[in-house]
């Protein structure tokens, strides 16, 4: 089963075609998923070890994706009027997607089922451009839905440049993600930027990114500050001035702090 109810604000259901994420971001909140696979799939039964090795193991949900068409038809009435997010605790276009093509298969199924449902995709990967043919068809097929039938969000981090590969060892560089947004927007896809996480002490880099996104007319839905657990781990903290300055940035729908 792939389509599960969500507790995220404004999101009815989520779809996660993988467990784990090959980008291996050191601050990732989704490391808690390790507890669901410990001792399974040939993995260690030690949850802490799995969390420390985040990025080095990924479980593709091949069988669930093969049955996705049946599940989608069965749940279509429940999905009406709801937003479905792909994905919430993994990246649907992480490196393993190039091999397994699970996300592409789901989009093909979604297109063939003609699901009249809002679909939102959230990624940080340029691999999504591989599926531009399907995204264009989906955008056209769902254009009559009251709110955008298809929206793609791209998350862009604001991290000290000299520590980027230490913190996000396998993720695309920010300029690559900006180009993904530009390409999708030029193709007629509804897009938004999710700036996350923002590192303490990087306010100028954040302002520069916001200015760049505005220049390309890309909406900024959220700015998310580095979470408390990660701040403790990396021994960094926001000043009150920084937080106030971030909150005052124009054109940002919401600043997330935790």
**pTM more than 0.85:** yes
Say if residues 251 and 223 touch (Cβ distance below 8 Å). no
Q: What pLDDT, on the 0 to 100 scale, is given for residue 115?
A: 66
Say if residues 138 and 84 touch (Cβ distance below 8 Å). no
Instruction: Give per-residue pLDDT as tens, 107-157.
Output: 999 988 866 788 999 999 999 999 999 999 998 877 665 555 899 999 999
Task: Tell me how far the alpha carbon of residue 40 is from its chain's centroid.
Answer: 25
Q: Where are the domains of the chain?
A: 3-256
Beta pairing class for 59-60 and 18-19 = antiparallel
Percent of the chain with pLDDT over 70: 97
Instruction: Give per-residue pLDDT as tens, 7-20.
Output: 888 899 999 999 99
- pLDDT mean over 32-49: 89
Task: Tell me how far the alpha carbon of residue 104 is from its chain's centroid.
Answer: 16
* Mean pLDDT, all residues of the chain: 92
Say if residues 223 and 256 touch (Cβ distance below 8 Å). yes
The half-sphere exposure of 235 on its side-chain side, counting CA atoms within 13 A, is 0
Integer-rounded Cα Rg, in Å, for the chain is 18
Q: Which fold has domain 3-256?
A: pyruvate-formate lyase- activating enzyme (3.80.30)
Dist CA 164 CA 151 (whole Å): 28
- pLDDT mean over 223-247: 94
Dist CA 59 CA 191 (whole Å): 28
Q: What pLDDT, on the 0 to 100 scale, is given for residue 144?
A: 61
DSSP 233: H
Residues 6+ apart with CB under 8 A from 195: 155, 156, 157, 158, 206, 209, 210, 220, 222, 223, 224
């Amino acid at each position: 089963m792939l389509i599960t109810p969500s507790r995220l604000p404004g999101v009815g259901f989520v779809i996660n075609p993988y467990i784990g994420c090959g980008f291996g971001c050191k601050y990732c909140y989704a490391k808690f998923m390790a507890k669901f696979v410990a001792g399974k799939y040939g993995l260690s039964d030690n949850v802490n070890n799995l969390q420390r090795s985040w990025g080095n193991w990924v479980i593709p949900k091949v069988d669930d994706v093969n049955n996705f068409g049946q599940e989608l038809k069965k749940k279509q009435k429940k999905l009406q009027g709801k937003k479905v997010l792909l994905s919430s605790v993994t990246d649907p276009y992480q490196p393993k997607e190039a091999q397994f093509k699970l996300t592409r298969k789901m989009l093909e199924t979604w297109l063939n089922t003609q699901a009249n449902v809002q679909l939102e995709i959230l990624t940080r990967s340029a691999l999504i451009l591989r599926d531009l043919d399907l995204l264009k068809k989906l955008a056209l097929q769902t254009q009559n839905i009251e709110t955008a039938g298809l929206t793609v969000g791209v998350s862009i981090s604001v991290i000290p440049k000299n520590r980027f590969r230490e913190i996000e060892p396998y993720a695309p560089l920010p300029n690559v993600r900006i180009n993904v947004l530009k390409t999708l927007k030029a193709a007629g896809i509804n897009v938004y930027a999710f700036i996350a996480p923002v590192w303490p002490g990087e306010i100028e880099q954040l302002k520069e990114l916001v200015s760049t996104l505005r220049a390309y007319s890309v909406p900024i839905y959220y700015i998310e500050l580095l979470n408390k657990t990660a701040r403790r781990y990396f021994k960094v903290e926001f000043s009150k001035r920084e937080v106030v300055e971030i909150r005052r940035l124009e054109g940002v729908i919401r600043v997330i702090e935790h």
